[in-house]
Homo-oligomer: A and B are copies of this chain.
Amino acid sequence: MRTTLFVLLLLNAWYRAAAQAPTPLTARQDKVSLTFAVGPDGYPTYAVSYGPKPVINSSRLGLSFADGRGFDGPLVLVGSETKDVDETWQPVWGEVRNIRNHYQQLTVHLRQPAATGRKLDVVFRVFADGVGFRYEVPAQPGLAYFTVQDEQTEFNLPGNHKAFWIPGDYDSNEYAYTTSRVSEVNTAPIEAIQMKSAPNRVQTPLMLKSDDGLYVNIHEAALVNYPAMFLNVNVQTFSLTSQLVPDATGTGAKAYLQAPEHTPWRTIVVADNAPAVLASKLILNLNEPTKLTETSWITPQKFVGVWWEMHVNRASWNYADTSNLKLAGTNWARLKPNGHHGANTANVKRYIDFAAQHHIAGVLVEGWNVGWEDWANNWKEEVFDFVTPYPDYDVDELQRYAAAKGVKIIMHHETSSSVTNYERRQDAAYRFMKQHGYDAVKTGYVGRIIPRGEHHDGQWMVNHYAHTAQLTADSHIMVDMHEAVRPTGLHRTYPNWMANEAARGNEFNAWSSGNPPEHETILPFTRLMGGPMDYTPGIFQIQLESWNPARNKGRQVHTTLAKQLALYVTMYSPLQMAADLPEAYNKHLDAFQFIEDVPVDWDDTRILAAEPGDYLTTVRKAKGKDEWYLGSITDENPRQQPVKLDFLTPGQRYEAIIYADGKGANWQKNPMAYRISRQVVDSKSALTLQLAPGGGAAVSFKPVKK
């Protein structure tokens, strides 16, 4: 009975909405224009164009509620406002010192057709490099708590663009990218990392290139208290529709909200050249400023760590080879050590020594705490306690040793996705950290989430990540999250949330089919649009067999050594690992000099050349210093990359140290050949970098003292 009545009401609403004259509204900034309209059928739509070129054809907006009384039906436009904003702000750290936030805002006020209908606002911000918009449910009588069942946002593409995509998996982003036409999107043949969803579903940031030369990136900004947005691809019409990650109830519910509340911003970055996409600060601008006033404890840094040696089968996270242990009730001191536990006191000291010697601020130690013997794949709640070291890891001694050498140990909290267990123990874990001199933590979320049924990218986990960013901030702790939801610029709001993994990192080169040489040319256009990635570059010992011939047969990193150096510039992160082992670096200290020199915080950044899937050349100016660092990478094809040095300060001479692929270098056959050369240059100089197949080049420019 109730259902029938509801349908009749909707029909009634439809007729009334149809009676109103749609009034298109517009907002624009430079070449980008946005049009909003309520169609003759009563449905609100928007469209975006770049100059004369369509970017998004007329596309539906909508939000449905679990109570059936959401905003997925016809709506009435009851008003609108515009405003212009032009301001400049300074991030705590980042790629540039100053960020301009310049947009025209259009707010449309919508209502369900009945005079007493619920109200919804849609807010659009139009920048010179794209559009962001979000739904806002204002405070209003009779609408307090509501459940978002679905979002009907469409992105109707005007053509069959080239797309760089990874499959929809609500629990993992660790896929290699497929490049195809939109019409060819099909995730079915791709092996799942955790659990793929529908075959036509892909993740954001989705990078697109149109045949008429537009570069378009679709993502979201400020993902807070809401599930991540995926995209359902219609391969016939090239229409993309929002797909929110469901919760555990199996009812299809997506987000439990309380008015006033808003969704994250849906973002469309557009430009007529690829570098402009990478230079866009649209997503960061759509995030809230930080509330932190004292940020001196947030220190961008490089680090080494007890980590890669586990990936290359030289050491283990676990202390014993016994399995089926229980956290409570195991006498860890009595376990028989396996003899190759990485996080032992002596080994960690070796890393501390290396870090101290080479001015690396941090030493990450994974596998220091009990629970690694059977931590993964068991959907087990009590795995780690985050405060009990293995018998061979002397917390106090290492605290003393690291402090004496001026190095900080970076804490590691692998949760194995037992997040309820982690949340119970976070207070104690952070107290333990502060007591023992740790001020940064790398967290991990490998495996299936507990609360069981929740997803890595659902609302509950999204809230957990933000909660963790806040909790760590409260304790002046920096955090680097692995296997969390992909970022959406929240490092503006939480500048202690330094980095995320949330993509296929360098580690895949150690134990899977690896990352194809184009991978690092795509990541900046996709994953990095939302924020820094802890990609863990810096692998020098490209061929991994030498570490463990039996277990690493044929395995190698899919780049040249020089390209590994270039990544420190092309992939921005305020936390950058020098991921290889000290013994690998000690064989190539001349090359390591670039890692030692390269900063992690910048005054300026210029994208000199870029094409997703093909190549990328970036140069950055060190924060507060007249030093520049350049990284240039290519895909599997060799490339000559000319570089004009007009970014250098006119009249100043610099010593350029060029770390290039060596003669005959090739990512497959001769990856470790490199060549270091020096020359004095100025702003009128030019370089031509020779990039090997799968190769790259890194250059440092330091002023020559007069």
Task: List residues of chain A with CB under 8 Å of any chain B CB.
Answer: 139, 144-145, 147, 247-250, 253, 256, 258-259, 323-324, 326, 374, 378-381, 420, 423-424, 426-428, 451-454, 460, 463, 467
Residues of B within 8 A of A380 (CB): 145, 256, 258
A139, chain B: closest CB distance, angstroms = 7
Q: Are A258 and B378 in contact (CB under 8 A)?
A: yes
The chain B residue sitting closest to A425, CB to CB, is B427
Asked if A258 and B326 make an inter-chain contact with CB atoms under 8 angstroms apart, the answer reads yes
Number of this chain's copies in the complex: 2
| Residues on the B chain within 8 Å of A379, using CB | 145, 147, 256
Q: What are 9 A-B pairs with beta-carbon distances under 8 A?
A: A139-B324, A247-B453, A248-B248, A256-B381, A256-B452, A258-B378, A259-B324, A424-B467, A427-B427
Please, which residue of chain B has its CB at the minimum distance from the CB of A471?
A: B424
Question: A463 — which chain B residues lie within 8 A by C-beta?
Answer: 381
Out of B144, B426, B452, name the residue touching A323 (CB < 8 Å).
B144
> In the assembled complex, how far is the CB of residue A460 from the closest CB belonging to chain B, in whole angstroms?
7
Q: Which residues of B contact A424 (CB under 8 A)?
A: 423-424, 426, 467
For A428, the closest partner residue in chain B by CB is: B427
Complex CA–CA separation, A256 to B380 (angstroms) = 7
Question: Which residue on chain B has the smallest CB distance to residue A377?
Answer: B145
Contacts of A426 in B (CB 8 A): 424
Contact of A452 among B144, B249, B381, B420 (CB under 8 A): B249
Residues of B within 8 A of A147 (CB): 379
Query: Are B453 and A460 interface neighbours, CB within 8 A?
Result: no
Give CA–CA (A427, B423) in the complex, Å.
11
Q: Is the CB of B258 within 8 A of A324?
A: yes
Q: Chain B residues with Cβ under 8 A from A323's Cβ?
A: 144
Q: 10 closest pairs, A vs B, by CB?
A: A451-B451, A144-B324, A250-B250, A427-B427, A248-B453, A145-B378, A249-B453, A248-B248, A423-B424, A249-B452
Nearest B residue to A463, CB-CB: B381
Q: How far apart sit A379 and B253, CA to CA, in the bound complex (Å)?
A: 12
Q: How far is the CB of A4 from chain B (nearest CB, A)?
A: 25
Q: How far is the CA of A145 from the CA of B467 in the complex (A)?
A: 31
| A420 and B248 alpha carbons, distance in the complex (Å) | 14
* Residues of chain B contacted by A139 (CB below 8 angstroms): 324
Contacts of A420 in B (CB 8 A): 420, 423, 451, 460
When chains A and B are docked, how far (Å) is the Cα of A147 from the Cα of B448?
15
Q: Is B248 within 8 A of A451, CB to CB?
A: yes
Point out which of A253, A256, A378, A451 has the most chain B C-beta atoms below 10 A from its C-beta: A451
Whole-angstrom distance from the CB of A371 to the nearest CB of chain B?
13
Output the nearest chain B residue to A464 by Cβ-Cβ distance: B420
- Given A144-B324, A247-B452, A258-B378, 7 more A-B residue pairs with CB atoms under 8 Å apart are A139-B324, A144-B323, A248-B249, A249-B250, A381-B463, A423-B423, A427-B428
